[in-house]
Amino acid sequence: MLEPREGIPPVIADEAALDRVIAAFAAGTGPVAVDAERASGYRYGQRAYLVQLRREGAGTALIDPVACPDLSGLGEALSGVEWVLHAATQDLPCLREIGMVPSRLFDTELAGRLAGFPRVGLGAMVEGVLGFVLEKGHSAVDWSTRPLPEPWLRYAALDVELLVDLRDALEKELDRQGKLEWALEEFDAIASAPPAEPRKDPWRRTSGMHKVRRRRQLAVVRELWQTRDRIAQRRDVSPGKVLSDTAIVEAALALPGNVHVLAGLNGFGHRMGRRQLEQWQAAVDRAKALPDSALPQPGQPVTGPPPPRAWADKDPAAAARLSAARAGVTALAERLTMPQENVISPDTVRRICWEPPASVDEESVGAALAGYGARPWQIELVTPVLVDALSARD
């Protein structure tokens, strides 16, 4: 499919045109296909730079959320309508920022996982289920570009062109497999989930952190990361375009004493100006000047069981329970032709095996699963597997 059925619609970039779209989509029928394009790798944060919608009776709309930053009116007009998204958890945060929050949704990627499809990208799903090949050449472009080129807009419109058709086909397939109610529980869980909490110490996720051992070096990573983040936010560019993670780790390991030494490190090459080098060296110097009491601790506070590789030494009985539980979940997932992580979260399995209920029975294990956020369908299927695994190794 190379062209949207009604051609490429004009980009909505003013309030009058947005009002007309809201009225048209409110009057439409059936589910609404929704997608959003971000500028990951180019701009700071994960904001939406284009929102695409399609609904029976309303056609396709392409909305510029930079020109129309408040889409809460559209969100309200679609309240109670089922939204069809592909990989919903990727787009919901940026849609929420502009006032679009679904009360009901259908996630075609998750539906594909539950139905046992080996490839669940949108192009693969549309081709495998509907027999259409979508042109997918513009997924990683800079969507903050204005005006957006016509080939990009064609690609964006095609992303929602067949989404409702895909949803309908997947619903039938899930129903045929006896998995439709499971999928609906999953979709409800996504729609009702609160926004994610901000990450604690996000600087600890710097790529290559495993090389950094000493607390003074950790302080350099933290200071450089925070300096980079402030600059990236101010300039509205991706942090990686300001300074690479590799450069941050190199500076932390080397603890350079001056700009000349810093300039010789990987990532601080000849193209970096003296002023930039001085700002990075100042960040290094601030970290080096901290008292020991202000240095970050190595590792993050552990809020759950230790890494499974350490279980055999720390608690051999727990290691045996985990081995039996994993084998049981693997067998169950194979029987259901479904990825193991969709049958039950691996983290949930680890937590229950590390600290099982005082008395192992279906009621206590089911309650423990519910406490970790498992859905009713998961509890029903997984509880007997875990009871067997925990009882056999009690």
Does pLDDT of 196 surpass 90? Answer: no
Reduced 3-state DSSP string for the chain: CCCCCCCCCCEECCHHHHHHHHHHHHHCEEEEEEEEEECCCCCCCCCEEEEEEEEECCEEEEECCCCCCCCHHHHHHCCCCEEEECCHHHHHHHHHHCCCCCCEEEEHHHHHHHHCCCCCCHHHHHHHHHCCCCCCCCCCCCCCCCCCCHHHHHHHHHHHHCHHHHHHHHHHHHHHCCCHHHHHHHHHHHHHCCCCCCCCCHHHHCCCHHHCCCHHHHHHHHHHHHHHHHHHHHHCCCHHHHCCHHHHHHHHHHCCCCHHHHHCCCCCCCCCCHHHHHHHHHHHHHHHCCCHHHCCCCCCCCCCCCCHHHHHHHCHHHHHHHHHHHHHHHHHHHHHCCCHHHHCCHHHHHHHHHCCCCCCCHHHHHHHHHHCCCCHHHHHHHHHHHHHHHHHCC
Q: For residues 263 and 272, is the Cβ–Cβ distance under 8 A?
A: yes
What tens digit of pLDDT does each residue of 138-190 get?
Answer: 778 999 999 999 999 999 999 999 999 999 999 999 999 999 999 999 999 99
Q: How confident is the model at residue 301 (pLDDT cuts 50, 70, 90)?
A: low
Q: For residues 66 and 56, is the Cβ–Cβ distance under 8 A?
A: no
Does pLDDT of 394 surpass 60? Answer: no
C-alpha dist (Å) from residue 52 to 3, 92, 265, 393? 15, 13, 44, 52
285: burial class by Cβ within 10 Å (0-12, 13-18, 19+)?
middle
CA distance linking residue 237 with residue 235, whole number of Å: 6
Q: 44-58, 63-77, 119-133, 297-311: lowest mean pLDDT where?
A: 297-311
Mean pLDDT of 356-368: 95
Does pLDDT of 115 surpass 80? Answer: yes
What pLDDT is recorded for position 182? 98
C-alpha Rg value of the chain to the nearest Å? 25
What pLDDT is recorded for position 15? 97
What tens digit of pLDDT does each residue of 30-58 get?
Answer: 999 999 999 999 999 999 999 999 999 99
Q: What is the dihedral of CA 118, 124, 128, 129, to 10 degrees?
A: 100
Task: State what percent of residues in the chain have pLDDT above 70.
Answer: 98
What tens digit of pLDDT does each residue of 266-281 get?
Answer: 999 778 889 999 999 9
Q: What is the maximum alpha-carbon separation in the chain? A: 67
Does pLDDT of 380 surpass 90? Answer: yes
CA distance linking residue 161 with residue 167, whole number of Å: 12
Q: For residues 166 and 107, is the Cβ–Cβ distance under 8 A?
A: no
Does pLDDT of 228 surpass 80? Answer: yes
For the chain, domains (ranges, CATH) are 11-192 (3.30.420.10), 202-289 (1.10.150.80), 308-391 (1.10.150.80)
What tens digit of pLDDT does each residue of 67-101 get?
Answer: 999 999 999 999 999 999 999 999 999 999 999 99
What pLDDT is recorded for position 303? 74
